[in-house]
Amino acid sequence: MAPELHQLLATFAGFGATENGGVCRLTGTPEDKAARDQFAVELAQRGLRLDLDAIGNMFGTALLASQSSDAVLVGSHLDSQPTGGRYDGVYGVLAGLLAVETIAARAAAMPGAARRNLVVVNWTNEEGARFQPSLTGSSVYAGTQSLEQALALADGNGATLGDALAAIGYRGTGALPLTPLRYVELHIEQGARLEDSATEIGLVEGAWSARKISVVFEGEASHTGPMPMPRRRDALRAAARCIDMLYEDLDEGAHASAARISVYPNSPNVVPSRVQVWFEIRHEDEAVATAIGDRFLSRIDSAIAPLGVSASIAIDERRGTALLDAAGVKIVERVADELGFSSMRMKTVAGHDALALQKRVPATLIFVPSHNGLSHNAHEFTAPEALDKGLAVLTETLWKMVTAE
């Protein structure tokens, strides 16, 4: 057992704890601040230097090789979904913290063994629960999203990410003064493949594609009592029809959702006049996800025309399939074998910071099992021994990376 890991997980589960045992820790909230503050304390206690950049990414550096300006990065995120559990994201940050501590002690006992430095990172707004899109901090660091655009992202009440970070004291002015060579992330699977196959470690080779579409339906407000049914222009009814239409026309293997809906005026006595729905389509084959989205969009107008409602596309974002660093997969595979753990190669359906970082540096993503594949849920669970095995694999993977010729 790695008791310190489980103690840390219990401590961080208290920041934003919900009555049902889960965690609600949205970016830029007091709960986020509390977790960040504790992470800063943990860094200081281990002698790691904290750098905070302009999008709020937190970097804790162990200078293992003072002659080098290169670094291997490891981490994940501390923010959660409103219905989050205690492992998603935070496990990768805390396991990264402990792995860095272990490797720093090992490097101190073996002078000259480490050829590059090691940095544990908390990326800002990975979840995208309060501010969309997700993967914000890692995308800014990777250079695929501008800082200005990211800081201007607004939540449902109009508050910007920049203002939210400033309000909790985490809109920084610094930067990591080292050159990243690799990134490694340890995460719970958030699926059931590892558990179903009784496999201990997941070697993530790449990711499914995703198409994220937001549609605005425009009708007309009217009284829900006296207005005759044939004369109503009910935007919510039109939205419901399209949600069902998407679900009923999926190719085999596709995943789809309509998980966020905004209704105006949202009064029980007014027929909704404006409704925005956020749809999502995922598939292992990018062409299939694209085709499903195209087919869906082409059918909307004819489906809702009889209801007197119009539609417009507010967002149509496409994330293609991605490949992660093949060399990193081989390193983790070798480490798992050396430690006597079973492993399997797989793809991630969910998005992770590693996918954003891969656009700047070679990135590696490691999974441990999730019980029943449950995540973004208060009852999310990974057995303590599985968490320990992930930490062991992460530690030895990082050691190989910082000592490699």
Tell me the per-residue pLDDT of 299-324, one tens digit each, with 9 for 90 and over. Answer: 999 999 999 999 999 999 998 889 99
Q: Are 382 and 368 in contact (CB under 8 A)?
A: yes
Torsion sign, CA atoms 196, 202, 208, 213: positive
CA 93, CA 104: separation in Å to the nearest integer? 16
CA 319, CA 258: separation in Å to the nearest integer? 17
| Domain end (from 319, 338, 361) | 319
- Reference 204, options 17, 371, 44, 397; nearest CA is 397
The 8-class DSSP code of residue 22 comes to -
Do 202 and 169 have their domain in common? yes
Tell me the per-residue pLDDT of 38-75, one tens digit each, with 9 for 90 and over. Answer: 999 999 999 999 999 999 999 999 999 999 999 999 99
Residue with tokens 């919510």: 236
Amino acid at residue number 144: T
Do 152 and 222 have their domain in common? no
Do 74 and 199 have their domain in common? yes
CA 329, CA 345: separation in Å to the nearest integer? 8
Give the residue with greater pLDDT, 405 vs 224: 224
CA 154, CA 96: separation in Å to the nearest integer? 30
Mean pLDDT of the region 186-200: 97
The β-bridge partners of 313 are 215
Query: Percentage of the chain surpassing pLDDT 70?
Result: 100
| CATH code of 7's domain | 3.40.630.10
Tell me the per-residue pLDDT of 331-372, one tens digit each, with 9 for 90 and over. Answer: 999 999 999 999 999 999 999 999 999 999 999 999 999 999
Do 292 and 187 have their domain in common? no
Radius of gyration from C-alpha coordinates of the chain: 23
Do 223 and 289 have their domain in common? yes
| Domain end (from 319, 351, 375) | 319
- Reference 361, options 131, 121, 36, 125; nearest CA is 121
Do 30 and 66 have their domain in common? yes
Do 106 and 172 have their domain in common? yes
Give one DSSP letter per residue of 157-181, joined into a string: TS-BHHHHHHHTT----B---SEEE
> In a 3-state reduction of DSSP, which class is residue 380?
coil
- Reference 213, options 246, 254, 249, 250; nearest CA is 246
Do 380 and 259 have their domain in common? no
Phi and psi dihedrals of 17, rounded to 5?
-60, 140
Q: Does 1 score more than 80 pLDDT?
A: no
| CATH code of 291's domain | 3.30.70.360
Give the rounded distance of the alpha carbon of 47 from its chain centre.
28
Do 53 and 160 have their domain in common? yes
pLDDT, residue 405, reads: 84
Phi and psi dihedrals of 269, rounded to 5?
-110, 15
b/e map of 251-263 (b: 16 or more CB within 10 Å)? eeebebebeeeeb
Residue 38 CB: number of other CB atoms within 10 A?
16
Q: What is the domain count for the chain?
A: 2
Residue with tokens 């991630």: 348
Do 198 and 89 have their domain in common? yes
Do 233 and 365 have their domain in common? no
Mean pLDDT of the region 82-106: 98
Binned at pLDDT 50, 70 and 90, residue 243 comes out as very high
Binned at pLDDT 50, 70 and 90, residue 164 comes out as very high
CA 369, CA 389: separation in Å to the nearest integer? 10
pLDDT, residue 180, reads: 98
Mean pLDDT of the chain: 97
CA 65, CA 112: separation in Å to the nearest integer? 8
In the numeric block, which tokens belong to residue 16? 């934003």
Q: Which residues span the domain enclosing 302?
A: 209-319
| Domain end (from 279, 301, 319) | 319
